[in-house]
Amino acid sequence: MKYISVLLSVLVMAACGSDKDSPLDEYTFVPEVEGKDVVAKVGDSEITKGELSHQLSYYSTGPMNIQQKDVDIILAKMIDDELLAKRAMEIGFSRSPEFLVNQRKLLAFEYRRFIEAEINKKVRVTDADIEAYYEGHKLNFEKPAMYRMAIFKTSTSGKTQIKHLKEQAEKLELEKGFGALSRSSDHMSTRSRGGKLAWLGENSSMAGVPDDVIVAGKRLKLGNVSEEILIGDDIYLARLIATKPGAVVSLSQVKTDIREKLLAKSRQEYLQMYLEDAKSAYPVNIVKTKIQKNNVSQPEAPAGPPGFPVQ
């Protein structure tokens, strides 16, 4: 069961009812003054302007598109939610395991977002930081040399045609590989495209192509065709048809990516520091005898895994 109304009500009570100080005062949440204005009361509970504004932000794409009827509709729905929440509290529904799990997850999720927003105000990455990272990880920004070849395969019974085929292939333009000659090749996956393979790196291998063929091909001069390569009962020819020299990607090309990487790393480090501080502020004691598999009840399976309630 998914009860967003109940959850929101108890979240407010849980957030306001704790008498324990925040472990890091710099991250204390302070509502906007304008958001404290009361727009409706349901019994002894209040719905504030801040809550209403938050709901409206999901209702329309922009403030200029919101009409008074929209405000009225959203507020009426919030009042209905509050009524259900109050009744749920009366009957003790707030003690149900599913609700308690969702309450904890949602409050932690929203507070994590708040902390991350505060952290973002602190995190800075300078050009010097980016340059230092680039110089220290230059190997990560190297583009390896690449080469491309075409192959031809035939059985040893077709050996008589190899010399003629080799001479004909070397007359073809590079991008054609073995061209129409490959139609008689026994290498089925490349015969329709001139025998051409994908681009390969220095230590690359390819399924369905013997390594000896690849090694022979990359050692050729551009455009040349290898001597016959005997693999079992098959004969292969390889032709080198293209090369790309290795290169180092310039700092200007990766500067934005490095900045985002360093920002993400700093944000994560700050958040981890905050979590470690929270661990020291709130002792954790696990009653291991209560969490043994045989001691944990298995209720009827829910419709899905525990998660945020949805409407």
In this predicted structure, the answer to whether residue 258 has a pLDDT above a threshold of 90 is yes
In this predicted structure, the answer to whether residue 157 has a pLDDT above a threshold of 50 is yes
Tens digit of pLDDT for each residue in 21-56? 434 445 555 566 566 889 999 999 999 998 888 888
- What is the residue-averaged pLDDT of the chain? 83
What's the CA gap between 24 and 29, in Å, rounded?
11
Q: What share of the chain is helix, strand, coil (3-state, %, to 5)?
A: 55, 15, 30
Same domain, yes or no: 121 and 187: no
0.85 surpassed by pTM: no
Lowest mean pLDDT among 83-87, 242-246, 284-288: 284-288
Same domain, yes or no: 26 and 173: no
Same domain, yes or no: 45 and 158: no
Same domain, yes or no: 197 and 287: no
For the segment 191-205, the average pLDDT, to the nearest whole number, is 93
310 within a domain of the structure (yes/no): no
Going by C-alpha positions, the residue among 10, 20, 21 that lies closest to residue 85 is 10
pLDDT on residue 123:
87
Same domain, yes or no: 150 and 90: no
Same domain, yes or no: 18 and 112: yes
pLDDT on residue 122:
83
221 within a domain of the structure (yes/no): yes
